[in-house]
Chains A and B, each alone.
Chain A
Amino acid sequence: DGGITQSPKYLFRKEGQNVTLSCEQNLNHDAMYWYRQDPGQGLRLIYYSQIVNDFQKGDIAEGYSVSREKKESFPLTVTSAQKNPTAFYLCASSSGTGTDTQYFGPGTRLTVL
């Protein structure tokens, strides 16, 4: 899992609640990503950031929000607008060059009660 940490490992959310997933990296990487993983669907990109104070929507950004105030941190908020948030969430980082490899955190499993 390299130098990327995600917390918490497990998270339970009640209907109508916003929750924030933490992602921190100490790899000095410029780029960071959030993916959602559902069984049989692979990884789908939620948001990505190529540099501090800048981020772009991925394929499934609705119901999610992010911030990138520090190079090391890229928190993801799952809002009440996300209708089916139960999933495994993976954060990744990379150097930001065209050929770079993404390095993944250990993931957060979010369950809606």
Chain B
Amino acid sequence: AQSVAQPEDQVNVAEGNPLTVKCTYSVSGNPYLFWYVQYPNRGLQFLLKYITGDNLVKGSYGFEAEFNKSQTSFHLKKPSALVSDSALYFCAVRDTAGGFKTIFGAGTRLFVKA
């Protein structure tokens, strides 16, 4: 069965510092991996996805994520955090061997302090 874990409920970082939000996954086949961001009382917005190819994926708002097959991880990163990056971040995985369903992690809340 497919699953996704976000081991940190909250990440705190100072503005201008690099940020990392962690995600690990478990699938039977090959994974399709996604990151979404949610601002208060809003829907989720797509940031980036990994399907195949280059392990470093670049997305919206300066975010990027690195796919690591051996560690089954897909950590979200940004070189320099902004206060406006403060939000709830979700990692999601779809198993290519598992059909149609996408599984979402529990979310990580990012706080960026000025």
Contact = CB atoms under 8 A, between A and B. Distances in A.
Interface in B14-49: 32, 34, 36, 41-46, 49
A42 B38 CA distance: 11
A42 B32 contact: no
Interface stretch (A12-20, A69-77, A97-105): A97-105
Nearest to B42: A106
Interface residues on B, range: 20 to 34
Contact of A107 (B43, B90, B106): B43
Question: Among A43, A48, A105, which residue has the most Cβ atoms of chain B within 10 A?
Answer: A43
B8 interface: no
A83 to B, nearest CB: 22
Interface stretch (B63-71, B72-80, B95-103): B95-103
Nearest to A56: B100
B106 A99 contact: no
Contact of A45 (B34, B45, B101): B101
A41 interface: yes
A107 B9 CA distance: 22
16 contacts: A42-B107, A43-B104, A48-B100, A90-B43, A90-B44, A99-B51, A101-B46, A102-B34, A102-B102, A103-B46, A104-B36, A104-B43, A104-B45, A106-B42, A107-B42, A107-B43
Interface of A: 1, 4, 6, 35, 40-43, 45, 48, 50, 58, 88, 90, 92, 98-99, 101-107, 109
Interface of B: 9, 32, 34, 36, 41-46, 49, 51, 90, 94, 96, 100-102, 104-107
Q: Give the top 8 A-B pairs by smallest Cβ distance, nearest first.
A: A104-B43, A43-B104, A42-B106, A104-B44, A42-B104, A99-B51, A106-B43, A101-B46
